[in-house]
Amino acid sequence: MSAVGSLEHAVGAPGGQLPDAAESRGRFRLALADIGGVTRRNLLRTIRTPRLLVFSSIQPVMFVLLFRYVFAGAIHAPNGSYVDYLMPGIFVQTALFGGASTAVGLAADLQGGIIDRFRSLPMARSAVLAGRTVADLLRNIFVLVLMVVVGMLVGFRFHGGLGHDLASLGIVLLFGYAFSWLFATIGLLVRDPETAQIAGFLPLFPLVFASSAFVPVETMPGWLQAFANVQPVSVTVNAVRALASGAPAEHWVWQSLVWIAGFLVVFAVLAVRQYRRV
Amino acid sequence: MTDAVIEARGVSKSFGTTRALEGVDLVVERGTVLGLLGPNGAGKTTLVRILTTLLAPDAGTARVAGHDVVREAPRVRAAIGLAGQFAAVDDLLTGRENLELVGLLYHLPKAERKRRAGEVLERLGLTDAGDRLARTYSGGMRRRLDLGASLVGRPSVLILDEPTTGLDPATRVDLWGFIEDLVASGMTLLLTTQYLEEADRLANRIVVIDHGRTIAEGTASELKDQLGGDLLEVTVADPAALDRAVELVAGLAHGSPTVDRVKRLVSAPATGKAAAVVAAASRFQAEGIDLEEISLRRPSLDDVFLALTGHGAEDVAAGSGERTASAGGAPARRARRAS
The reply to whether A49 touches chain B by the CB within 8 Å rule is yes
What whole-number distance in Å separates Cα of residue A174 and Cα of residue A180? 10
pLDDT > 90? residue B12: yes
With a CB cutoff of 8 Å and minimum separation 6, the contacts of A243 are: A160, A164, A165, A167, A168, A171, A249, A253
Chain A residues in contact with B55 by the CB 8 A cut-off are none
What is the dihedral angle through the alpha carbons of B77, B78, B83, B89, rounded to the nearest 10 degrees? 100
Chain B residues in contact with A26 by the CB 8 A cut-off are none
Closest CA to B305 of B321, B282, B289: B321
What whole-number distance in Å separates Cα of residue A112 and Cα of residue B157? 23
What whole-number distance in Å separates Cα of residue B203 and Cα of residue B218? 10
Q: What is the pLDDT of residues B247-281, one digit of tens each?
A: 777 777 777 778 887 888 888 877 767 777 888 88
| Average pLDDT across chain A, whole number | 88
Decide if the complex's ipTM is over 0.95: no
Band of residue B317 on the pLDDT scale cut at 50, 70, 90: very low
Chain B residues in contact with A122 by the CB 8 A cut-off are 74, 77-78, 105-107, 153
Helix (H, G, I), strand (E, B) or coil at A193: helix
Q: What is the pLDDT of residue A174?
A: 97
What whole-number distance in Å separates Cα of residue A2 and Cα of residue B3? 12
The nearest CA of chain B is from the CA of A277 a distance in Å of 8
Chain B residues in contact with A33 by the CB 8 A cut-off are 104, 107
The residue with greater pLDDT, B227 or A129, is A129
What whole-number distance in Å separates Cα of residue B246 and Cα of residue B241? 9
- Count CB atoms within 10 A of the CB of residue B315: 10
pLDDT > 60? residue A5: no
CA angle B221, B223, B224 (to 5 degrees): 65
Chain A residues in contact with B108 by the CB 8 A cut-off are 16-17
Band of residue A6 on the pLDDT scale cut at 50, 70, 90: very low
The reply to whether A14 touches chain B by the CB within 8 Å rule is no
CB–CB contact B109 A17 (8 Å): yes
Fold of domain B4-224 = Rossmann fold (3.40.50)
Share of chain B above pLDDT 90, in %: 47
Q: B191: alpha, beta or left, given left = phi > 0 and alpha = psi -120 to 50?
A: beta
Q: What is the pLDDT of residues A26-66, one digit of tens each?
A: 788 889 999 999 999 999 999 999 998 888 889 899 999 99
Q: A127: alpha, beta or left, given left = phi > 0 and alpha = psi -120 to 50?
A: alpha
What whole-number distance in Å separates Cα of residue A177 and Cα of residue A261? 10
Chain A stretch 24-43, residues whose beta carbon is closer than 8 A to a beta carbon of chain B: 30, 33-34, 37-38, 40-41
Q: What is the pLDDT of residues B189-234, one digit of tens each?
A: 999 988 888 888 999 999 999 899 998 899 988 887 777 678 888 8
The reply to whether A52 touches chain B by the CB within 8 Å rule is no
What is the mean predicted confidence (pLDDT) over A246-272? 95
Cα of first residue to Cα of last residue in chain B, in angstroms, is 32
Indicate the helix (H) or strand (E) that contains A142: helix A127-153
What whole-number distance in Å separates Cα of residue B239 and Cα of residue B266? 11
| Average pLDDT across chain B, whole number | 83
* Range(s) of chain B covered by CATH 3.30.70.100: 228-298
The nearest CA of chain A is from the CA of B222 a distance in Å of 29
Q: What is the pLDDT of residue B166?
A: 82
* Range(s) of chain B covered by CATH 3.40.50.300: 4-224
Band of residue B2 on the pLDDT scale cut at 50, 70, 90: low
Query: 3-state SS string over B228-265?
Result: CCEEEEEEECCHHHHHHHHHHHHHHCCCCCEEECCCCE
pLDDT > 50? residue B326: no
Q: What is the pLDDT of residue A23?
A: 54
Mutation choice for A interface testing from B3, B99, B106, B107 by most A CBs within 10 A: B107
The nearest CA of chain B is from the CA of A187 a distance in Å of 15
How far CA B154 is from CA of A10, A205, B203, in Å, comes to 8, 49, 21
Q: What is the pLDDT of residues B56-98, one digit of tens each?
A: 999 999 999 999 999 999 999 999 999 977 668 999 999 999 9
The reply to whether B119 touches chain A by the CB within 8 Å rule is yes
Q: Are strands B33-37 and B205-210 parallel, antiparallel or unpaired?
A: parallel
Q: What is the pLDDT of residue B328?
A: 34
Query: Where does residue B68 rank: exposed (0-12), middle (13-18), buried (19+ CB within 10 A)?
Result: middle
CB–CB contact B88 A19 (8 Å): no
Strands of the B67-68 sheet, one edge to the other: B18-29, B4-15, B59-64, B67-68
Fold of domain B228-298 = Alpha-Beta Plaits (3.30.70)
Specify the range with the lowest mean pLDDT, choosing from B28-37, B114-123, B227-236. Answer: B227-236
Strands of the B205-210 sheet, one edge to the other: B80-83, B157-161, B188-193, B33-37, B205-210, B213-218
Q: What is the pLDDT of residue B314?
A: 32
Q: What is the pLDDT of residue A9?
A: 34
Q: What is the pLDDT of residue B72?
A: 95
Question: What are φ and ψ of residue A13, in 5° steps?
Answer: -145, 155
The nearest CA of chain A is from the CA of B105 a distance in Å of 5
The residue with greater pLDDT, B298 or A143, is A143
Q: A113: alpha, beta or left, given left = phi > 0 and alpha = psi -120 to 50?
A: left
